Copies of this chain bind each other. A is one copy, B any other.
């Protein structure tokens, strides 16, 4: 056992790095899954009913009042589902670290999902910004004075998404560095 380890030291070190990269890949995918599912749930369950209402209108804010937030929830859910499906392939890479074409497939879909998730997160961020600050020139008033806890909740739900965006960039880099090493 020890002798075998000594004779094939160089390939084992290379294999060890590749295996470490593959394990890191799986761990990062889990982090991104937690981030996206957290964002989707935080946004999807947000609603606030104000304690006053008139005869005709009940002041209530829900995430699906704004189509952008609906897109945010869908984008996060899709990316989360993809990441769950990609975990088995990532585990295969831990065992078989010389795999090339499956890594290529992962890089492509990681890039597509990166674009989808960034689109959802930043579109939502643009609307959240508007809800906080409003816009004088377009005569859009800030709604966060009234819907305070709604605004805090939707602002917080962006965090998980942006963490997942950074993780996806790292995943693309890790996969391609694994390809470059072989």
Contacts and interface: CB of A to CB of B under 8 A. Distances in A.
Contacts of A140: 130, 138, 140-141
Interface in A97-153: 100-101, 103-104, 107-108, 111-112, 114-115, 118-127, 129-131, 135, 137-141, 143
A104 B180 CA distance: 7
Contact of A173 (B107, B124, B130, B135): B107
Given A123-B126, A179-B176, A180-B104, A66 B138 contact: yes
A68 to B, nearest CB: 5
A165 B118 CA distance: 11
A61 interface: yes
A169 interface: yes
